[in-house]
Amino acid sequence: MSDDYKPVLRAGSDPLVFFKYPGADGDGDVARGHIMATVMSHALKDGEVVVMGANSLLPLAAARLAQLTHAPNLTLIAGASGGVNTLVEPLAPSSGDYANLLAEAVLDFPEVLMLQMGGGTDVFFAGGLQIDKRGNCNLAYTGRSPGSVDLRGPGSAGLPWAHRSGRTILYVTTHTTPTFVETVDFVSLPGHKAGGKWREKGGPELVVTPLCVMDFDEGGLLRLVSLHPGVELEEVVENTGFDLVLPSGAVPSTLFPSAEELRYLRELDPDALLVAVV
Amino acid sequence: MSDDYKPVLRAGSDPLVFFKYPGADGDGDVARGHIMATVMSHALKDGEVVVMGANSLLPLAAARLAQLTHAPNLTLIAGASGGVNTLVEPLAPSSGDYANLLAEAVLDFPEVLMLQMGGGTDVFFAGGLQIDKRGNCNLAYTGRSPGSVDLRGPGSAGLPWAHRSGRTILYVTTHTTPTFVETVDFVSLPGHKAGGKWREKGGPELVVTPLCVMDFDEGGLLRLVSLHPGVELEEVVENTGFDLVLPSGAVPSTLFPSAEELRYLRELDPDALLVAVV
Amino acid sequence: MQDTVRKSKVLAIEAAVAALVPDLSESLWVGGMHMHNVPMALVRECIRQGKRFGTLYAAPSASLAADLLIGTGAVDRVVCGYLGFEHLGLAPVFRRAAEEGSQIDFIEADSGSLILALQAGAWGQPFAVLPSGIEQTDLPKVSPMFYRQLEDPFTTGRSYAVEAVRPTVALIHCQQADEFGNGIFKGSRFVDRLLGLAAGTVIMQVEGLVDNNQVVKYPLQTGLPGFRAAAVVQVNFGCHPTSSHRYYNFDDVHLRLYLQAASTEAGFKSYLDEYVMQPVDQEDYMRRVQNQDWGAITGEAP
Amino acid sequence: MQDTVRKSKVLAIEAAVAALVPDLSESLWVGGMHMHNVPMALVRECIRQGKRFGTLYAAPSASLAADLLIGTGAVDRVVCGYLGFEHLGLAPVFRRAAEEGSQIDFIEADSGSLILALQAGAWGQPFAVLPSGIEQTDLPKVSPMFYRQLEDPFTTGRSYAVEAVRPTVALIHCQQADEFGNGIFKGSRFVDRLLGLAAGTVIMQVEGLVDNNQVVKYPLQTGLPGFRAAAVVQVNFGCHPTSSHRYYNFDDVHLRLYLQAASTEAGFKSYLDEYVMQPVDQEDYMRRVQNQDWGAITGEAP
């Protein structure tokens, strides 16, 4: 990328695209997007190869934050753009954005999928219309059958191959009962099987929402790990459409981003997309 | 390719690699390599996509000559290098030579094979250890079986897919009875079936040797088309290990390269590799 | 003697679509991904000329082009890996068609299988076997004609496979090309190199033309060799409202305008009329896009 | 806090081979084609250290590296698409082994099927189905374990397939790389991008190191992303006597010297001793290559 690249700037552009989110400049408030990105960052290990699909503001920020803090040898593949180790300067709203080519290498998209499906990656980030208690994830449609669709989503995209792409971290930007359902209407991304986790490696491992962090218990059921600062257990329970496994004892509070982490996130994200996204 | 590229030059290099062939500078003699390249050039049609494998001095010169004369819209893919429409300035001895990247595009080698096998090319050039009367071609080994090998060749390379790559032009730099055999010991490149040509499109169409030009009759059998200037019919018959189909009447003489064709060939080939190759 | 000269492939967009895209093609695959490098001017021209396509492959990340083609009934069948507007929302016409029913046949698929199918088509393979895992999703269940089981001849285990795909027509955007169709991507190539090497008829839309000498000077930069392009059409801002990598970003205001309009059938019709059917050419289209300062977004690539 | 820094992957060649190539690996695929971009210094180092490999994939165009590995008995099995010296002649050690018999198992194959097998391995596909046509050759007959028939689930016709290949070790030459393994090809990439994305352990040999800033400045040039390289080894003239695109051409005099020497078993042994086993390092090797004016062939890439 040469130095003369300028993104479009036009009157009326949305904050999620180009402009500062009003009031997001100050150091005062920590947005839930910051907390989610930090949680996701902590879940990444040094040396891992991390890949993400569409709508990847949060994992993109998380992976870059991990590189800047505890995981300097982590590799990040920025979804549709094919950018490898994009510097995230700045964070851009679309996974296919040219901004992601301020990077070390650029893969053709078939190569990105090839690495994912061939086991060449360690961590995959995904979201969906619905997530159920076993971590099955639906990006196709809700409703009883293909002939009786309530809500048509975009389609299963690369989700069927998530478990081949390594540990899967699920994330959503709304935590509601339509999203967290007992059983998904359509399995785009396979979760854990009844009676136990269905594979040693790969498959859903963590779920990060605007309210809380969840993982899976030994039986492969979704379990609350921590509540984000200011969130009450009640709020999570009410907005989850099934009986969430609760930790024994008091529910911990999600670790607040450190001052350094916040500084990095704000540097990476001058347009405060992380504030607007959740 | 930048302008500062210099090939290796060292004492003792072979004329086929870097130096002028002694005495090849003059305009006087026309080498058999010139005649063969010209014949092959005439066999190419404007607009075709032409691909060649290893050892492709002759087809490379032929395809470029065709572009410079009757086929300006011909596309040439220079074998291993992946160079598309290399300018052949100058002709280089190895199909993978960096010189072939003075070109319009460079394909990865899997892409070259993909185009060949997927039907994305029109003409394929090939040679072999043995060619038989039906145009079967052997690049693997001669001998009775894998356990009883007389001469071990390099292997079948891309030859099994020749008929998928379009019309196939076979060429050899020696015309002898060990090369032209009744039946090949191993079919690397399938020729015509007994009882007729086995496919409408694709498959061997022309065979060019230092002595003559041959095609296939309606029964799919090798047939003499023309003798190169100065070659007697007897010489061809003696050096062919089966009964070659002869044209009715006198055998025509292979068209001599025109003055313009010779000029182009000499311009493309300052090191006179075409003089040394046959 | 050189009695002919090499022919330019440069055509006006109307002429290219009229001459090279049949009135009814078997299948179509549109290049780019999400809101990037989508050859929208070509798509609008196809719709304007009433071109129809049996099957549209909506993968790996189809967006506005697919939504418009569905809304105009230009396609009979959509094989769907992903069709949406990423962070901007779901595809409104696709939603309505799927939720309320339509004449169009939607085949539920996934992007990985569709890319493997395209690759198999390019190689002349009859089908592509899939890695294990698809059997754990609902895809083979709802699309049994698309995903079929076979026996692995090496392990005797069962695998799924998808039939090879070879799009009859591909529309592809390169930032630059020479007159012979040697296309240059100034940013991501997405799936477009594979698509361009695989498809039957490739029409290439570009921001600008460059001299062939420039192409020969940097052959490693050429993203698509010229012989694959049936025609090259030069269109200013031809990807709008999607981005053209390095030249301009996507126009989120216009995309949201579309999403808002197309949320009703009537709104979609009036969007279609205003921005697709009525414009006599790209300049006319550009005039109709409101409040856009085209001069200010002219990204020039070196 | 950034309590760790990003690790360099640069290692001395001896250390890289000692640490990263097991004494006995399942399989090996050497990059480059014909007499170009073959990482000969790595191959010689593997032989010197007595590394052994179950299967060597000799495709699409293996030459000196494969001949040496066969001659030293470093491989048990060779799957052969092409092994020769192009315009310079046939492979002398391979010839002798095949014609006179040897402990090594040679599997007759073809380059197209082997590339499809490698691609299938990279995608995690269990096998690759082949385009029609292979049944008209003698290959399935002599290699029935390599080429196997199966039923096409879409047409119920019969096709041939080859099992996926995933080389345990790949040796690849890039002209340049940064310390994190981002490799740059200054000319043809041959099969090396696919190979580098597919293989288990990739060791990357380079002519020279460049700064990471340079890589980030031109990311579209990066041929192989850093995470695929287990180690980067810098060796002067490391491809000799094969070429390194843009840096130097192949040394036909030395290649002919090899072909001449290796035409007898004794000659091969003395070549091996002089140029592979005895040299203590690449500089020593270079001193032993006669009449070569190394300074004069230093091609420098920008």
How remote is the C-alpha of B155 from its chain's centroid?
Answer: 17
pLDDT tens per residue across span A114-137: 999 999 999 999 999 999 999 999
Least-confidence region, from A116-120, A200-204, C81-85, D10-14 = A200-204
Rounded average pLDDT over B246-272: 95
Min Cα–Cα distance to chain A from D227, Å: 7
Q: What is the pTM of this model?
A: 0.96
Question: pLDDT-based confidence at A28, cuts 50/70/90?
Answer: low
Nearest alpha carbon to residue A209 among A13, A32, A23? A32
Whether residue C125 is predicted with pLDDT greater than 70 in this model: the reply is yes
Whether residue A17 is predicted with pLDDT greater than 60 in this model: the reply is no
Judging contacts by C-beta atoms under 8 Å, the chain D residues touching residue B126 are none
Q: How far apart are CA C292 and CA C252, in angstroms?
A: 11
Question: pLDDT-based confidence at A196, cuts 50/70/90?
Answer: low
CB D207 within 8 A of CB D177: no
pLDDT score of D166? 98
pLDDT score of B96? 96
CB B127 within 8 A of CB B55: yes
Query: Distance between terminal CA atoms of chain B?
Result: 30
The interface predicted TM-score of the complex, written ipTM, equals 0.96
Whether residue B22 is predicted with pLDDT greater than 80 in this model: the reply is no
Q: Which residues 7-46 of A have a C-beta within 8 angstroms of C?
A: 7-14, 16-18
Q: How far apart are CA A102 and CA D40, in angstroms?
A: 34
- DSSP secondary structure string, chain D? ---S-PPP-B--HHHHHHHHS-SEEEEEEE-SBTTBS--HHHHHHHHHTT-EEEEEEE-SSB-HHHHHHHHTT-EEEEEES-BB-GGG-B-HHHHHHHHH--SSEEEE--HHHHHHHHHHHHHT-SEEEPPTTGGGSSHHHH-TTTEEEEE-TTT--EEEEEE----SEEEEEEEEE-TT--EE-SS--TTHHHHHHH-SEEEEEEEEE--HHHHHHSGGGEEE-GGGEEEEEE-TTTTTTSBBTTTB---HHHHHHHHHHTTSHHHHHHHHIIIIIS-SSHHHHHHHSTT--GGGG-----
Percent of chain A exceeding pLDDT 90 equals: 81
Rounded mean pLDDT of chain C? 95
pLDDT under 70 in chain D at which residues? 1-3, 296-302
Pick among D82, D165, D237 to test the B interface (most B CBs inside 10 A): D82
Q: Do chains D and A touch (3 or more CB pairs under 8 A)?
A: yes
Judging contacts by C-beta atoms under 8 Å, the chain D residues touching residue C147 are none
Rounded average pLDDT over A248-275: 94
Put simply, the answer to whether A154 touches C90 (Cβ < 8 Å) is yes
pLDDT score of D294? 80
In order of B10, C58, C68, C88, the CA distances from C269 in angstroms are 73, 22, 10, 21
Judging contacts by C-beta atoms under 8 Å, the chain D residues touching residue C148 are 153-154
Whether residue A8 is predicted with pLDDT greater than 50 in this model: the reply is no
- Which H or E run contains A249? none
Whether residue A38 is predicted with pLDDT greater than 90 in this model: the reply is yes
pLDDT score of D185? 98
Q: Which long-range contacts (CB under 8 A, 24 or more apart) does D93-100 make?
A: D93/D67, D93/D68, D93/D262, D93/D268, D94/B152, D94/D66, D94/D67, D94/D70, D95/B151, D95/B152, D96/D265, D97/D70, D97/D71, D98/B141, D98/B149, D98/B152, D99/B149, D99/B150, D99/B151, D99/B152
Chain C adjacent subunits, 3+ CB pairs under 8 A: A, B, D
Chain B adjacent subunits, 3+ CB pairs under 8 A: C, D
pLDDT tens per residue across span B87-133: 999 999 999 999 999 999 999 999 999 999 999 999 999 999 999 99
pLDDT tens per residue across span B62-88: 999 999 999 999 999 998 999 999 999
Whether residue C301 is predicted with pLDDT greater than 80 in this model: the reply is no
Judging contacts by C-beta atoms under 8 Å, the chain D residues touching residue B156 are 81-82, 108-111, 137, 139
pLDDT score of D301? 41
Q: Do chains B and A touch (3 or more CB pairs under 8 A)?
A: no
Rounded average pLDDT over C135-160: 97
Q: How many CB pairs under 8 A join A and C?
A: 204
pLDDT tens per residue across span A75-107: 999 989 999 999 999 999 999 999 999 999 999
Q: Which 3-state string (H, E, C) describes B166-201?
A: CEEEEECCCCCCCCEECCCCCCCECCCECCECCCCC
How remote is the C-alpha of B154 from its chain's centroid?
Answer: 17
Whether residue A20 is predicted with pLDDT greater than 80 in this model: the reply is no
Q: Which residues 70-89 of A have a C-beta within 8 angstroms of C?
A: 80-83
Put simply, the answer to whether C215 touches B83 (Cβ < 8 Å) is no
Whether residue A164 is predicted with pLDDT greater than 80 in this model: the reply is yes
Rounded average pLDDT over C107-125: 98
As given in the structure block, the two tokens for residue C101 are: 């029913």
Judging contacts by C-beta atoms under 8 Å, the chain D residues touching residue A75 are 225-227
Question: pLDDT-based confidence at A174, cuts 50/70/90?
Answer: very high
Is B106 in the C-facing interface, judged by CB distances under 8 Å?
Answer: yes
Judging contacts by C-beta atoms under 8 Å, the chain A residues touching residue D227 are 49, 75, 84
Select from B4, B8, B277 the Cβ nearest to the Cβ of D251: B8
